[in-house]
């Protein structure tokens, strides 16, 4: 029995309505492939964010990051930009060169080096600038759907999501994802799901996707029911746990039956993940080195020992990875409590903004293009 209606993102039907959150350094093609294998091809899988300036300048690393697996359909790319003209050019390039099928715009990055320049989650405070960026994106996108992802605002005194939602509707954005935190919260505290419900009421014209603190399929179902949102976006819960996508599909389709893989199965997924990364990068060793950042997430809660964790953190070939994993007690069952929060969880930072930023939401002078450089995260 299907529990929830499908989500429409322009011409694309997402059934059940579940989306992999863009995560810089994580949701590259190999990770999306893994999650999609577990979901049986259901759901939508968004790329890590790509800065528009780097794309327009055809930065070599960026051009590698935007490569999709041949089986990905639709190809969802997330863009981050602060300059309307550059965003427009990047979108036009994607359309002209058939680089993706769906464009998501990131206005949620809380990293100080970005907000200090007026970018990321600081940007929606400047309403005209947000409008100009959305306008350029939608105009240049032609038939491609454009969605946006944002936070609630800068801090509790500078909430922007309702205004931003209205602007998005007026500019022809197809759907909005809301992470129920302010920039000041970073990843601390709990996500405010009431804000998701309020946005849903505020912009009934387009789908609203809820994001923040979905750690299990039951959380996803609860968010759908409690907020009335049209779909869920899941990030950190998938770190070292791509099979969560199987659970999310089962939960939202109402079929139940969740996964609790033992260490043997987890180790197989780890090797597969590292293998996919190597194939994607075109270098096995670099793939295994990139995989190191995932090791602690995969092994969370299992009895592994600090010595072995250290050795796994410096592995540089698939044979070495397999050999080390085979030394573990692979008969361990899924650890109790390993379904809880993982990844970044700290917060309550002061948001660093350009001088005078909050004086006037309509004065858009002074957003620096440097806000795009070396950016990562949301
Ligand atoms: C490591 C990491 C990288 C992230 N990178 C991005 C990004 O590139 N673009 C974006 O919109 N959000 C990014 N985010 C934010 C997530 O997409 C998501 O909004 C946030 O983690 C809250 O959802 P969750 O509670 O399901 O993790 C990132 C989060 C993490 C933990």
pLDDT given at position 377:
59
Beta bridge partners of 158: 155
Q: Find the domain containing 275 and state its range.
A: 263-326
- Cα–ligand 1 centroid distance for 137 (angstroms): 22
Please tell me if the CB atom of residue 114 comes closer than 6 angstroms to any atom of ligand 1.
no
272/142 same-domain check: no
Cβ–ligand 1 distance for 150 under 6 Å, the answer no
96/234 same-domain check: yes
The token pair that represents 9 in the structure block = 């993102």
Q: Is residue 272 one of the residues assigned to a domain?
A: yes
Kindly state if the Cβ of 23 falls inside 6 Å of ligand 1. yes
In a domain, 24, yes or no: yes
In a domain, 90, yes or no: yes
191 and 296 fall within a common domain: no
In this predicted model, which residue has the larger pLDDT, 2 or 102? 102
Query: Do 229 and 316 fall into the same domain?
Result: no
Residues serving a catalytic function are 109
Can you name the residues that pair with 151 across neighbouring β-strands?
179
Residues 194, 314, single domain; the answer is no
DSSP state string for 208-246:
EEEES---SHHHHHHHHHHH--SEEEE-GGGTT-TTHHH
State which ligand 1 atom lies nearest to the alpha carbon of 80: 9
Cα–ligand 1 centroid distance for 152 (angstroms): 14
Could you tell me if the CB of 234 is within 6 A of ligand 1? Answer: yes
Ligand 1, atom 10, lies closest to the CA of 378
Instruction: Indicate the number of domains in the chain.
Output: 2
Question: Residue 32 to residues 45, 126, 240, 374: CA-CA distances in angstroms?
Answer: 6, 33, 12, 22
Nearest residue to 231 via CA among 47, 44, 18, 10: 18
The pLDDT value given to residue 348: 66
288 is a domain residue: yes
Answer whether 49 contacts ligand 1 (Cβ < 6 A): yes
Residues 202 and 273 placed together within one structural domain of the fold: no
Indicate whether 83 and 144 sit together in one domain: yes
On whether the CB atoms of residues 49 and 66 are closer than 8 A, the answer is no
Q: Is the pLDDT of residue 38 over 60?
A: yes
Q: How far apart are CA 108 and CA 36, in angstroms?
A: 24
Quote the CA–CA distance of 298 and 315 in Å, as a whole number. 15
Q: What is the CATH number of the domain that holds 147?
A: 3.20.20.70
pLDDT for residue 281: 95
Ligand 1 center from residue 34 Cα (angstroms): 18
pTM above 0.85, yes or no: yes
- Domain identity same for 18 and 39: yes
DSSP code, position 18: E
220 and 101, same domain (yes or no): yes
Does residue 372 fall inside a structural domain?
A: no
**Which ligand 1 atom is at minimum distance from the Cα of 181?**
22
- Looking at residue 366, its pLDDT comes to 62
CB 81 within 8 A of CB 90: yes
Categorize the per-residue pLDDT at 378 as very low, low, confident or very high, splitting at 50, 70 and 90: low
Give yes or no: residues 274 and 159 share one domain.
Answer: no
pLDDT digits (tens, 9 = 90+) for 290-311: 999 999 999 999 999 999 999 9
What pLDDT shows up at residue 371? 72
């Amino acid at each position: 029995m299907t529990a929830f209606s499908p989500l429409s993102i322009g011409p694309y039907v997402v059934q059940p309505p579940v989306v992999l959150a863009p995560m810089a350094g994580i949701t590259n093609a190999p990770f999306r492939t893994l999650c999609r294998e577990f979901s049986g091809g259901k759901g939508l899988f968004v790329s890590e964010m790509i800065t528009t300036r780097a794309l327009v300048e055809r930065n070599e690393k960026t051009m590698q990051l935007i490569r999709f697996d041949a089986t990905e359909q639709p190809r969802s790319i997330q863009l981050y930009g602060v300059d309307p003209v550059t965003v427009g050019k990047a979108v036009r390039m994607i359309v002209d060169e058939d680089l993706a099928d769906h464009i998501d715009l990131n206005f949620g990055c809380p990293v100080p080096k970005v907000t200090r320049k007026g970018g990321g989650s600081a940007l929606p405070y400047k309403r005209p600038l947000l409008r100009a960026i959305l306008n350029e994106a939608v105009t240049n996108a032609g038939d491609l759907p454009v969605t946006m992802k944002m936070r609630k605002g800068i801090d509790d005194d500078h909430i922007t999501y309702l205004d931003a939602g209205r602007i998005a509707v007026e500019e022809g954005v197809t759907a909005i994802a809301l992470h129920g935190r302010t920039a000041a919260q970073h990843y601390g505290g709990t996500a405010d799901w009431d804000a998701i419900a309020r946005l849903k009421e505020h912009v009934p014209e387009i789908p609203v996707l809820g994001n923040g603190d979905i750690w299990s399929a039951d959380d996803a179902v609860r968010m759908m029911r409690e907020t009335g949102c049209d779909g869920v976006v899941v990030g950190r819960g998938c770190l070292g746990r791509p099979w969560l996508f199987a659970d999310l599909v089962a939960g939202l389709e109402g079929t139940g039956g969740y996964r609790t893989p033992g260490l043997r199965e987890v180790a197989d997924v780890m090797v597969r993940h590292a293998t996919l990364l190597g194939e994607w990068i075109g270098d096995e060793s670099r793939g295994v080195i990139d995989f190191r950042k995932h090791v602690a997430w995969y092994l969370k809660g299992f009895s592994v020992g600090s010595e072995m964790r250290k050795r796994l953190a410096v592995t540089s070939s698939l044979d070495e990875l397999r050999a080390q994993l085979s030394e573990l007690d692979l008969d361990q069952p899924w650890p109790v409590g390993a379904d809880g929060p993982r990844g970044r969880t700290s917060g309550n930072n002061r948001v660093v903004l350009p001088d005078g930023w909050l004086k006037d939401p309509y004065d858009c002078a002074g957003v620096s293009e440097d806000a795009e450089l070396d950016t990562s995260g949301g």
